[in-house]
Amino acid sequence: MKELQDNLNKLWASIIEKQVIDIFNHFILFEIKSINNGEVSFHQLKFNNVKSIYYINDQLPFEPEEDDYLELTSVLFEKERTNEIKVSSKSKEYSYLTSNSNFLIEIWGRELLIEASSVEIDGKLFEVGFTA
C-alpha cells in the first residue's frame, strides 16, 4: 500500500474545489487543484463503497469570506485501522453502531474519518477492503 500512500501524499496542501458526499451511491468525491512550483494540475479523489463517515470540527463556526477556500491539508491511509469509532448512547438502540475508519483527511485542522473499501486517485483504483 506504499503506492497508495505515495499517491495520496501528492495531494497534500491542495485546494478542494468541489466535494460531493453521495449517500445513496456510497461515495465521497473531491475535485482538487494542486499548485507545485507554479505548475497547476487537477485531480480527483474518490472514496468508493463508503461504510462510514465521521466529521470533527473543533473550531468555532464562522461565515466564510469571499476568498476563503478549503485546503486538503493531508490524507492518510491506515491499513491497521486503529481508529475505531463507537457510538456511546444511553439508548441500547444505537449501542451496536461501530466503525473502523481506514482513511483520515485533514482539512484546515478539521478531521474527516472515512471507512471505504476502495479509493480512486485520478481514475487509478486501489482496493483496500473492509475490516472483518
Q: Which residues are registered as beta bridge partners of 73? A: none
Question: What is residue 130's predicted lDDT score, i.e. its pLDDT?
Answer: 76
Question: What is residue 29's predicted lDDT score, i.e. its pLDDT?
Answer: 99
Question: What is residue 60's predicted lDDT score, i.e. its pLDDT?
Answer: 73
Question: What is residue 81's predicted lDDT score, i.e. its pLDDT?
Answer: 60
Measured at the CA of 83, the angle between CA 12 and CA 128, to 5 degrees, comes to 65
Question: What is residue 132's predicted lDDT score, i.e. its pLDDT?
Answer: 54
Could you say which DSSP state residue 78 is in?
A: -
Say if CB 54 and CB 83 are below 8 A apart: no
Q: Where are the domains of the chain?
A: 2-127
Say if CB 12 and CB 74 are below 8 A apart: yes
Q: What is the DSSP string of 80-103?
A: T--EEEE---SSTTSTT-EEEE-E
Residues of the chain whose pLDDT is less than 50? none
Q: What is the pTM of this model?
A: 0.88
